[in-house]
Amino acid sequence: MRSSPFRRRVTAVTIAALAVAGIVVPAAPAAAADLGDAWTDKARYAPGEQVTVTAEVSGTGPVQFSLVHLGTVVDTGTVTATGSGQVNWTVTPPTDDFTGYMVHVDAGTSTAQTAVDVSSNWTRFPRTGFLDTYPADLDATEQAAAVDELSRKYHLNSLQFYDWMWRHEKPVQRESNGDLVDTWTAWNGDVIAPDTVAGLIDATHDVNAAALPYSMSYAALEGFQAHGVDADWRLKYRNSGDDWKFQMLPNEPDTTLWIMNPQNPDWVSHITEQYADQIDALGFDGTHIDQLGNWGGAADGGMDDVAGDPVDIPQGFANLVAATKDATGKTTGFNAVDGFGSDWLAGSESDYLYTELWENHETYAQVQQYLAQQRAASGGKGAVLAAYLNYRSNTGDRYEAEAGVLTGGVQVDSDHTGYTGTGFLDSFGAAGDAVTVTVTVPEGRRYGIVPRWTNGTGATATRTVTVDGVNVGRIKLPATADWDTWNIEGGTAAYLTAGTHTITLSVGSGDTGYVNLDSITLGTFDTPSVQLANAAFAANGASHIEMGQGDQMLVAPYFLDETKQMNHELQGWMETYYDVITGYENLFYGPTLRQLANTVTISGQPTSTDGAANTVWTNVMRNDGIDVIHLINLKGNNGTWRDPAATPPTLTNLPVKYYLGDSPMPASVHVASPDRDGGRSTALSFTTGSDANGTYLSFTVPELKSWDFVYLGNSTAGNGNVVTKASKCLDVAGGSAVNGTAVQIWDCASVPAQDWAYANEKLTALGKCLDLSQGDTANGTVAHLWDCANVPSQQWVRTAQSQYYNLASGRCLDTVGGGVANGTRVHIWDCHAGPSQKWTLPG
């Protein structure tokens, strides 16, 4: 959470579209099968769990399905379409945990795709969305449809339940006998039915996703004293001594939030008891915790408790995470708003990292650096970004108010600055005042209806919005700083068919207040900026919370804002994007992800390694031993992600040279993109060479629109000896495969105990992995053999200095005391240039 909301949802969420999408009129029997959409029955699958893939099909004939992992087909099936409108294919993927698959569907010349995530825990590859509407009349069928839409289209394996609670410090309201009330009224006036919340949680569980309640870390609503909170727990600004509080809705004192001390043990005890209660009462799967950011920074001198003692708020956040885990025993995450508290939170017991991006992280370079720091500090925990695309940008077709049809006493004026067009409507607020604009839209979909106004009265105004004479709701237009400060953070949304419509803003019955009105915009997300930002986030190991109930893309920090909508092009791209980040999750996310400094050149194109303006951003990552070269097309754009962007020129036949550095020679090179072929990968031919900069691969990327990713296949390095500078070999003592068997050096021989393989940054022999004793990371920790697992202590990164660098410890494989005698144990030690840390690849 960052800023106070200025409006609330006033139109119902349409959920029936999902059900309608599943109704396909059968084609004539003679027609060949033709594909529509495809989806899976769950967002995530346990290892060994069966997957059902459904494809919409018109006509009849064979439909081919392929389960594909990183370009390799692992299972296939054919189902005959009979004219019923859809076909189902069931498949059980391999039992490998934490593995993503694309599903290719083919029928004649038509194609479709979806994706599968096989993971025992969603936090490894978090894909988070949100729910925000919980009325009593949302029945079980509609609840299931709302969640199914997000699972089918976007494979969301976790849903944040936004503003579901009664009060921040007392989220669950009960009757005097302890039973849940039928409904409660939230701070913003929404009427919440706890049965609906519980039903949506059940629906979330049905698709194997996690349900997480939005929860405030340190906030208590006005009147908190009646709900178990002591005023002595609150925080104050150090310099002024003022209480830290603010009104979420301007000029509505009942919406005031008072900020409590997260280091105060009584507050921590109170709020963690509430977290446990909301889980017990409704069935949530954990706790998602929010904060406000660094309000007590250098300008304010920090925050004190009521006794005047300074409070270390970030440390308090980390302690609160630990206390929450202890109280609930469930998954816990915490929003490091714009990085505030990020170091403490990365090192805390938080199960995933979550950051709302603001001023400190507006450039691609800042986001890249921040995510790298978070990976290092957390040991590679899953990262989720809340990043509001086009926030405060008035994107979409704009209609000037002064050019509309005016009724009542509305006058056009130009005596204030900052307006667009030829003027604005002055003192728009008397009974009967109205303005009607005629709009023409190219496609049938939802559009934001966004007024641009000033309001210097100091009080919130309201206006009634109608479309083609039909009332679509009442909007709030809060006070602005003065009559020259224009605001666009208000409005609503409505469905418009393709063609011409009228939109009217009027002073209707019950409306109050005066505003100056400049324009009305049909709020629409800027497609290129969304594509480039999402590419940047995935290319740096983070997912993006953005898709929510009713297929609403996240507009603002107040999640119920609907004033921007996706056009059809962006809707289609987003579905493919989520197929890609799910199906190729092993390239983008996970605890072994790290950035490489390997050089990439593209003949004839400017490149950058940090998302600089007007370049092709070449971002190289390594994950599970696979090099991934991200190419993000920033041609014609600046180095920031939030604002509207120009459509980058499509680049074709790009000659790419990739310097391998310490990376092994690959067996194959593939390229894929959400911009092309439904995310299907294509094998690229490549050649090798060397020059003064080292060994390189040369290949041609056929096309780059917004984002391509090139990934290298398994190394051609094979089994064999790992040899030291002293011509001794890495050896498993006694040739025993028992867990805990010592690893040493010995005279080289062709024996199983010295037959090592290096793949996916693991050294394996006798079916086991080289690991650190007890998982310790200190200098001198000996290495031994152990069952392979996805743990950093078994990750050995091959360096340019021929070392094996251990990810868990940040130290290198060495011989004890630098010894060279048979039987000398191997251990980890601070990396150095000495011969005892020089090892070959298995030969």
The pLDDT tens digits of the residues spanning 322-346 come to: 999 999 999 999 999 999 999 999 9
> What are the helix and strand counts (H, E) for the chain?
10, 56
Q: Which two tokens stand for residue 124?
A: 């490894």
**Are the beta carbons of 356 and 335 closer than 8 angstroms?**
yes
Model confidence pLDDT, tens digit, residues 112-127: 999 999 999 999 999 9
pTM given for the model:
0.86
Q: Which two tokens stand for residue 256?
A: 């005031």
List Cβ neighbours of 103 (8 Å cut-off, separation of 6 or more).
38, 40, 53, 65, 66, 67, 68, 113, 114, 115, 116, 583
Q: State the helix-helix crossing angle for 265-282 and 194-206, rounded to 10 degrees.
A: 70
Model confidence pLDDT, tens digit, residues 5-35: 333 333 333 333 333 334 343 443 446 789 9
Tell me how far apart the alpha carbons of residues 394 and 450 are, in angstroms, rounded to a whole number.
8
Give the angle subtended at the CA of 345 by the CAs of 339 and 348, to the nearest 5°. 170
pLDDT at 424 over 50: yes
Place of tokens 């978090």: 126
Tell me how far apart the alpha carbons of residues 673 and 653 are, in angstroms, rounded to a whole number.
15
Listed residue (438, 373, 352) closest to 157, CA to CA: 352
Candidate from 263-272, 467-476, 560-569, 710-719 with smallest mean pLDDT: 710-719
Q: Which two tokens stand for residue 31?
A: 């027609």
**Are the beta carbons of 375 and 354 closer than 8 angstroms?**
no
Tell me how far apart the alpha carbons of residues 840 and 776 are, in angstroms, rounded to a whole number.
25
484 in helix, strand or coil? coil
Count of CB atoms situated within 10 Å of the CB of 362: 17
Amino acid sitting at position 48:
G
Q: Quick one: pLDDT at residue 684?
A: 98
Place of tokens 């921590």: 268
Alpha-carbon dihedral 26, 31, 37, 39, rounded to 10 degrees: 80
The domain covering 31-120 belongs, at the CATH homologous superfamily level, to Immunoglobulins (2.60.40.10)
Partners of 715 in beta bridges: 666
193 in helix, strand or coil? coil
pLDDT at 231 over 60: yes
Q: Quick one: pLDDT at residue 843?
A: 67
What are the two backbone dihedrals, phi and then psi, of residue 584, each rounded to the nearest 5 degrees? -110, 25
Q: Which two tokens stand for residue 697?
A: 């691969």
Listed residue (468, 449, 473, 503) closest to 9, CA to CA: 473
Average pLDDT rounded to a whole number, residues 279-286: 99
Q: Percent of the chain at pLDDT above 90? A: 88
Q: Quick one: pLDDT at residue 714?
A: 67
Q: Give the model's confidence band at 404: pLDDT under 50 very low, under 70 low, under 90 confident, else very high.
A: very high
**Are the beta carbons of 423 and 597 closer than 8 angstroms?**
no
Q: Give the model's confidence band at 766: pLDDT under 50 very low, under 70 low, under 90 confident, else very high.
A: very high
The domain covering 396-523 belongs, at the CATH homologous superfamily level, to Galactose-binding domain-like (2.60.120.260)
Task: Please count the residues of the chain.
Answer: 843
**Are the beta carbons of 164 and 198 closer than 8 angstroms?**
no
Place of tokens 């949680």: 201
| Two domains, one topology: 31-120 and 527-712 | yes
Q: Which fold has domain 527-712?
A: Immunoglobulin-like (2.60.40)
pLDDT at 225 over 90: yes
Tell me how far apart the alpha carbons of residues 5 and 559 are, in angstroms, rounded to a whole number.
9
pLDDT at 780 over 70: yes
Q: Quick one: pLDDT at residue 298?
A: 75
Q: Percent of the chain at pLDDT above 70? A: 95
Average pLDDT rounded to a whole number, residues 279-306: 93
Q: Quick one: pLDDT at residue 300?
A: 78
Tell me how far apart the alpha carbons of residues 677 and 675 are, in angstroms, rounded to a whole number.
7
pLDDT at 83 over 90: yes
Alpha-carbon dihedral 382, 385, 386, 391, rounded to 10 degrees: -170
Q: Which fold has domain 123-356?
A: TIM Barrel (3.20.20)
Q: Give the model's confidence band at 4: pLDDT under 50 very low, under 70 low, under 90 confident, else very high.
A: very low
DSSP 8-state code for residue 84: S
Tell me how far apart the alpha carbons of residues 742 and 127 are, in angstroms, rounded to a whole number.
40
Average pLDDT, the chain: 94
**Are the beta carbons of 696 and 689 closer than 8 angstroms?**
yes
Model confidence pLDDT, tens digit, residues 605-614: 999 999 999 9
List Cβ neighbours of 20 (8 Å cut-off, separation of 6 or more).
none
Model confidence pLDDT, tens digit, residues 136-176: 999 999 999 999 999 999 999 999 999 999 999 999 999 99
Q: Give the model's confidence band at 750: pLDDT under 50 very low, under 70 low, under 90 confident, else very high.
A: confident
Model confidence pLDDT, tens digit, residues 702-727: 999 999 999 998 654 445 788 887 78
Q: Which fold has domain 728-837?
A: Trefoil (Acidic Fibroblast Growth Factor, subunit A) (2.80.10)
Q: Quick one: pLDDT at residue 93?
A: 97
433 in helix, strand or coil? coil
Amino acid sitting at position 142:
E
CA distances (Å), origin 105, targets 64, 88, 231, 673, 681: 6, 11, 61, 17, 14
Radius of gyration of the chain from its Cα atoms, rounded to whole angstroms: 29
pLDDT at 279 over 80: yes
Candidate from 41-45, 230-234, 469-473, 804-808 with smallest mean pLDDT: 804-808
CA distances (Å), origin 169, targets 67, 255, 337, 371, 533: 47, 13, 20, 31, 35
Task: Give the start-to-end residue ranges of the domains of the chain.
Answer: 31-120, 123-356, 396-523, 527-712, 728-837
Model confidence pLDDT, tens digit, residues 796-823: 998 877 899 999 999 999 999 999 999 9
List Cβ neighbours of 318 (8 Å cut-off, separation of 6 or more).
341, 344, 345, 347, 348
